[in-house]
Structure 1
Amino acid sequence: MDQFNSQDTERSVVEKPRLQKSHELLTCTIKTPSFSYIHLELLTDPPGAAVELDNLQVKSYCTAALTQFLGLTGTAISLDILKVEASACWIRVPRDDLGPFAAALTAWKGTSDGGVKRLLRIKQCSDWLGTMAGSDGQDQLWNND
């Protein structure tokens, strides 16, 4: 009888291996991205002026701001215009140049044409374009307009 009991206990101790519910296929960590992204908005004075941006204006305004703030060094900053839509635009600069670019645009006093003052304002900037695109429109969340 002792043999029979010892065999039963051995069988109950052995468990089936459990299956994993998920598998990790790939792990990738990007520590320092090469570029930073900036969302700019054109402000006008008087505020109701109907002015739309185009690629040449964006490039001209950014170059003017960089030249005023950093001189010839500022014109060497690479600038890629990704999208221009009405009074907003999205640009890409090398990651290391984001600080000088933002400082130059913040210090820029703008330009006047036909009695309308124009100024580019930085709405947001990030090393990741997806975070900016996902947060577009959040500033309107609590407005009753």
Structure 2
Amino acid sequence: MADLGELHDATESTAATAPTTQSSSTTSKRKRKKRVAKPHILSQFTIRDTPWAYVHLQHLNSSNAVVSDLDAVTAHLHLTAALSQFLGLHGAAIPFDILKIEGQDVWIRLPSEDRSALVAAVGGWVSGSGQGWRVKGWSSWNADAMGRKSGQDLFTD
């Protein structure tokens, strides 16, 4: 019985010292923060490497002749010629899809790892008749391919 009494005394002494560390007046003045419920996330993922790149090109013609609208076959031939001149057979083997042709503007889709090779190839290519390409923009997410601006707005009045 003596052991239980000693245990009881120890509990009482601990309880007596706890309120002295914090006064009751300071706890009532503090505002308690409301807990905001966190949203329940069903699924979360990150896309690290995008499979496709979208490139917006403009066909240039240096001749003074009336320029007709570009067709898909001509655009494909010019792009393949630029790629094969820049990278040889490896460049000619780069697959690309022509998504849209509007006047002299062409939107294409290609594997994202080949984007820099295509941009370098078509940016420096000029045909024997003076035709070439201007890269107007590219994007990994948007088929409009306006991820990069050409800077033309700097030179307009």
Q: Same fold by TM (over 0.5)?
A: yes
Residue aligning to 1:98: 115
Gaps of 5+ in 1: 1-8
Residue aligning to 1:129: 142
> Does the Cα contact within 8 Å between 1:110 and 1:120 map onto a contact in 2?
no
TM-score (norm 2): 0.64
Number of matched pairs? 132
Deviation at 1:46, TM superposition (A): 3.8
Asked if 1:108 corresponds to 2:125, the answer is yes
Which has the higher relative contact order, 1 or 2, with Cα contacts under 8 A spaced 6 or more apart?
1
Identity fraction in percent: 34
Distance 1:72 1:23 in 2: 53
Deviation at 1:131, TM superposition (A): 7.0
> Does the Cα contact within 8 Å between 1:110 and 1:118 map onto a contact in 2?
yes
Gaps of 5+ in 2: 1-23
Q: Which amino acid aligns with 2:114?
A: D
Residue aligning to 2:44: 27
Q: Which amino acid aligns with 1:127?
A: S
> Does the Cα contact within 8 Å between 1:111 and 1:119 map onto a contact in 2?
no
Asked if 1:56 corresponds to 2:69, the answer is no
Deviation at 1:28, TM superposition (A): 2.8
Aligned partner (choices 47, 70, 75) of residue 92 of structure 2: 75
> Does the Cα contact within 8 Å between 2:56 and 2:146 map onto a contact in 1?
no
Q: Which amino acid aligns with 1:93?
A: L
Distance 2:124 2:146 in 1: 26
Decide which structure has the larger Cα Rg and report it: 2
> Does the Cα contact within 8 Å between 1:81 and 1:91 map onto a contact in 2?
yes
Q: Secondary structure at the match of 1:43?
A: strand
Asked if 1:40 corresponds to 2:72, the answer is no
Distance 2:47 2:90 in 1: 29
Aligned partner (choices 70, 82, 85) of residue 102 of structure 2: 85
Misfit runs of 4+, over 6 Å: none
